[in-house]
């Protein structure tokens, strides 16, 4: 009841502000722009996050910058309904999107174009990941000094075994699954055929998507599209000749190119194309987001981002089990949170920590619907956490699977000897020095190691089989470290559906019997950032530790332009 008077007061103030500005907007309505400008930059979150309460000087965001896909979609719907609007101008600058977010952005643009509006795109320079967005426009423009770095995709696999051996470090690991190639990073002297085949499969899929994008947007045959990619990169002149862009225009001339009135600014340059904020100022009654009298239902989003490690800590490059578990418990206890989306973007990590997350997810799933969603990577220990959800959704080309485990340690005895350090290990008990870094495993210790890794692998298979409703033998055929794209993981029965983040959120609320688009999203967990390398994670263990980690996902993320952010 205490909420009602505050909501009424806030809506009254919004109404008064709308009323007081009406005369000015009526005057400005005569100059309502036919074109509106948006700037696409950065990673474009699905939903806007909490902004800083205080912006320091020099941190001001360019007014045309799109802050989230949700906000961009709302703006496009308003513009699509206005018969006086001809279209939008997109300025593409440093866009770093995952495949899933790029597809969501392209879907918004396609809906806008289907309403009879035009999209004109412009950039100074774009790369392979940005070009599909630039090329989706009805007219593609480039700065005369610009470049189109369209060259395709590459993935680099690295192994350190020989380098470690030269300095006296030896990695001793046991694994289950021929496709569980993570230990090869530390043990092998060359990239294995299996690792190569895994990366090439993903490269083939992503390259096919790029070829199809060129075919649709530029009217090319698949062979012509491949030839365009092979002939890159392009200067502005060559891009125009090849048909990758439709014209070369300086930024200051964009307004004139669109046929806008050539009003001059104080500096003598042409006035820029108006932003969406300037457009709203010409509406007599612009759309207003009134505060609802009743609280909107809440959807909880819990992130599992980065390498999964035991303990607590910040987010970013690793997901600390205790921190994520607390976030899950908080989401489960929140009476306003009707459902939970477990947003997994993890290549895995500690086997123990991954099982902690699985148990916590299963507990929350007993209280309310939990849907797991993978935008980029849900592999190994990350997949173990996801199977606790009621359903698993994936982006089409996310990295999924890698069901397998490995365990081991690093031996520094050779390095210590080179440094003149003498160390003698005395034991009582056959496996007392199991975790010693001074030497490798004895035959007795190796046998114990093999037993533990086999037991852990069988346990992993049982957990997945139970969660996916399949026989253990069926899961084994799909496991042994095999890595799938989202589409192939669906066909293999490892995920339930292919979709986007907004679609997953709506489905989660429907599962909670809240079938409405009018809900708020609240993220739970520690969002502060911290860094942790895999080498530090593994070498810092005082005892041989079980890992469920997918090394291939790192190479794949770097090759497709998504390594700038892992959230």
Rg (C-alpha) for the chain, rounded Å, is 27
- Kindly tell me if the per-residue pLDDT of 313 is higher than 90: no
More confident residue, 30 or 425: 425
How many of the other CB atoms lie within 10 Å of CB of 98? 24
**What integer is the mean pLDDT of 281-307?**
76
Q: How far is CA 561 from CA 42, 77, 154, 287, in A?
A: 12, 29, 10, 36
Which residues, at least 6 apart from 130, have a Cβ–Cβ distance to it below 8 Å? 92, 95, 123
Whole-number pLDDT of residue 562 = 35
377 neighbors 345 (Cβ within 8 angstroms): yes
According to CATH, the superfamily of the domain at 19-151+232-280 is 2-enoyl-CoA Hydratase; Chain A, domain 1 (3.90.226.10)
Distance between CA atoms of residues 338 and 56, nearest Å: 37
Q: Which of 61, 63, 120, 125 is nearest to 86 (CA)?
A: 120
pLDDT category at 448 given cuts 50, 70, 90 is confident
98 neighbors 106 (Cβ within 8 angstroms): no
Distance between CA atoms of residues 493 and 136, nearest Å: 33
- Kindly tell me if the per-residue pLDDT of 490 is higher than 70: yes
pLDDT tens by residue, 548-565: 666 666 556 554 443 322
**What integer is the mean pLDDT of 146-167?**
88
Mean pLDDT across the chain, nearest whole number? 83
Task: Indicate the range of 172-176, 322-326, 333-337 predicted with least confidence.
Answer: 172-176
Strands 391-394 and 370-379, by their bridges, are: parallel
Whole-number pLDDT of residue 15 = 61
* Burial zone of 12 (CB within 10 Å; 0-12 exposed, 13-18 middle, 19+ buried): exposed
Whole-number pLDDT of residue 288 = 58
pLDDT tens by residue, 97-131: 988 999 999 999 999 999 999 999 999 999 999 99
175-184, 406-415, 473-482: which is most confident: 473-482
Task: Indicate the range of 181-185, 201-205, 248-252, 351-355 predicted with least confidence.
Answer: 181-185
Q: How far is CA 428 from CA 155, 425, 434, in A?
A: 48, 10, 12
- Kindly tell me if the per-residue pLDDT of 395 is higher than 80: yes
More confident residue, 132 or 186: 132
**What integer is the mean pLDDT of 222-227?**
94
Cα angle value 239/240/241 (rounded, 5°): 90
- Kindly tell me if the per-residue pLDDT of 289 is higher than 80: no
How many of the other CB atoms lie within 10 Å of CB of 496? 17
Q: Show the tokens assigned to 448.
A: 């114990």
- Kindly tell me if the per-residue pLDDT of 269 is higher than 70: no
- Kindly tell me if the per-residue pLDDT of 547 is higher than 80: no
How many of the other CB atoms lie within 10 Å of CB of 76? 22
Q: How many CA atoms lie within 13 A of 374 on its CB side?
A: 39
**DSSP characters over 104-163:** HHHHHHHHHHHTT-EEEEEEEEEETTTHHHHHTSSEEEEEEEEEEE-----------HHH
Three-state DSSP state, 187:
helix
For the chain, the distance separating the N- and C-terminal CA atoms, rounded to the nearest angstrom, is 38
- Kindly tell me if the per-residue pLDDT of 472 is higher than 80: yes
469 neighbors 390 (Cβ within 8 angstroms): no
**What integer is the mean pLDDT of 145-155?**
92
Task: Indicate the range of 3-17, 271-285, 296-310, 372-386 predicted with least confidence.
Answer: 3-17
Cα angle value 134/138/143 (rounded, 5°): 50
Please give the share of the chain, as a percent, with pLDDT higher than 90.
51
More confident residue, 502 or 565: 502
Q: Considering Cα of 489, then 493, then 499, then 503, what sign does the dihedral take?
A: negative
Which residues, at least 6 apart from 538, have a Cβ–Cβ distance to it below 8 Å? 186, 410, 545, 547
Whole-number pLDDT of residue 120 = 97
Specify the DSSP class assigned to residue 65. B
pLDDT category at 6 given cuts 50, 70, 90 is low
Distance between CA atoms of residues 29 and 75, nearest Å: 18
How many of the other CB atoms lie within 10 Å of CB of 321? 26
Whole-number pLDDT of residue 437 = 78
- Kindly tell me if the per-residue pLDDT of 183 is higher than 80: yes
Tell me if domain 19-151+232-280 and domain 298-559 are identical in fold: yes
Whole-number pLDDT of residue 498 = 95
pLDDT tens by residue, 57-74: 444 567 889 999 999 999
The residue ranges of every structural domain in the chain are 19-151+232-280, 298-559
Please give the share of the chain, as a percent, with pLDDT higher than 70.
80
Whole-number pLDDT of residue 38 = 96
Whole-number pLDDT of residue 479 = 93
102-111, 292-301, 423-432: which is most confident: 102-111
More confident residue, 428 or 11: 428
3-state secondary structure 315-360: EECEEEHHHHHHHHHHHHHCCCEEEEEEEEEECEEEHHHHHHHHHH
Whole-number pLDDT of residue 262 = 55
- Kindly tell me if the per-residue pLDDT of 219 is higher than 60: yes
CATH topology of domain 298-559: 2-enoyl-CoA Hydratase; Chain A, domain 1 (3.90.226)
Task: Indicate the range of 23-32, 163-172, 217-226, 318-327 predicted with least confidence.
Answer: 23-32
Whole-number pLDDT of residue 424 = 80
Cα angle value 349/354/358 (rounded, 5°): 155
More confident residue, 452 or 543: 452
Q: Which of 304, 308, 291, 311 is nearest to 331 (CA)?
A: 304
Q: Show the tokens assigned to 131.
A: 């070009």
More confident residue, 453 or 262: 453
Residue in this structure with the two tokens 């999203």, named with its chain if needed: 521
Instruction: Give backbone dihedrals phi and psi of 502, rounded to 5 degrees, phi first.
Output: -65, -40
Q: Which of 337, 334, 327, 391 is nearest to 360 (CA)?
A: 327
């Amino acid at each position: 009841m205490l909420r009602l008077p505050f909501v009424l007061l806030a809506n009254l103030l919004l109404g008064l502000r709308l009323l007081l500005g009406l005369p000015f907007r009526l005057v400005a309505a005569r100059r309502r722009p036919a074109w509106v400008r948006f700037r696409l930059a950065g990673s474009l979150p699905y939903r806007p996050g909490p902004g800083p309460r205080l912006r320091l000087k020099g941190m001001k965001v360019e007014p045309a910058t799109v802050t989230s896909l949700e906000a961009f979609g709302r703006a496009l719907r308003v513009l699509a309904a206005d018969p006086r609007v001809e279209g939008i101008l997109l300025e593409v600058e440093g866009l770093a999107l995952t495949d899933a977010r790029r597809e969501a952005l392209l879907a918004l643009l396609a809906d806008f174009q289907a309403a009879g509006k035009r999209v004109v795109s412009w950039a100074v320079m774009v790369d392979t990941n940005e070009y599909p967005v630039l090329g989706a426009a009805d007219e593609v423009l480039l700065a005369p000094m610009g470049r189109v770095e369209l060259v395709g995709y590459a993935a680099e696999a690295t192994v350190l075994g020989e380098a470690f051996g030269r300095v006296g470090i030896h990695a001793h690991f046991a694994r289950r699954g021929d496709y569980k190639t993570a230990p090869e990073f530390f043990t092998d002297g060359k990239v294995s055929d299996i690792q190569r085949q895994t990366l090439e499969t993903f490269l083939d899929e992503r390259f096919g998507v790029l070829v199809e994008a060129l075919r649709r947007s530029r009217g090319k045959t698949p062979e012509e599209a491949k030839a365009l990619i092979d002939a890159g990169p392009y200067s502005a002149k060559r891009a125009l000749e090849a048909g990758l862009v439709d014209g070369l225009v300086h930024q200051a001339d964009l307004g004139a190119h669109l046929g806008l009135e050539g009003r001059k600014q104080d500096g003598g340059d042409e006035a820029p194309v108006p932003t969406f904020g300037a457009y709203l100022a010409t509406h007599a009654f612009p759309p207003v987001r009134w505060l609802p009298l009743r609280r909107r239902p809440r959807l909880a989003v819990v992130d599992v981002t980065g390498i999964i490690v035991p303990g607590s800590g910040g987010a970013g490059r690793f997901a600390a089990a205790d921190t994520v578990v607390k976030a899950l418990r908080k989401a489960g206890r929140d009476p306003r949170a009707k459902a939970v989306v477990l947003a997994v973007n993890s290549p895995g990590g500690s086997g123990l920590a991954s099982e902690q997350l699985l148990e916590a997810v299963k507990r929350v799933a007993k209280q309310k619907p939990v849907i797991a969603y993978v935008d980029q990577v849900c592999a190994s220990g990350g997949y173990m956490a996801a199977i606790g959800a009621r359903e698993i959704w994936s982006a089409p080309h996310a990295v999924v699977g890698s069901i397998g485990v490995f365990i081991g340690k690093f031996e520094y005895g050779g390095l210590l000897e080179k440094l003149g350090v003498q160390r003698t290990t005395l034991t009582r008990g056959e496996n007392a020095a199991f975790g010693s870094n001074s030497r490798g495993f004895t035959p007795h210790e190796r046998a114990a190691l093999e037993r533990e890794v086999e037991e852990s692998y069988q346990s992993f298979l049982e957990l997945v089989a139970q969660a996916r409703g399949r026989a253990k033998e069926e899961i084994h055929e799909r496991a042994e470290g095999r890595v799938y794209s989202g589409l192939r993981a669906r066909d293999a029965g490892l995920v339930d559906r292919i979709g986007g983040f907004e679609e997953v959120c709506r489905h989660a609320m429907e599962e909670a019997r809240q079938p409405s688009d009018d809900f708020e999203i609240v993220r739970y967990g520690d969002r502060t950032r911290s860094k942790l390398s895999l080498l530090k994670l593994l070498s810092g263990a005082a005892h041989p530790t079980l890992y469920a980690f997918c090394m291939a996902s790192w190479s794949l993320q770097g090759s497709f332009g998504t390594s700038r952010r892992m959230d």
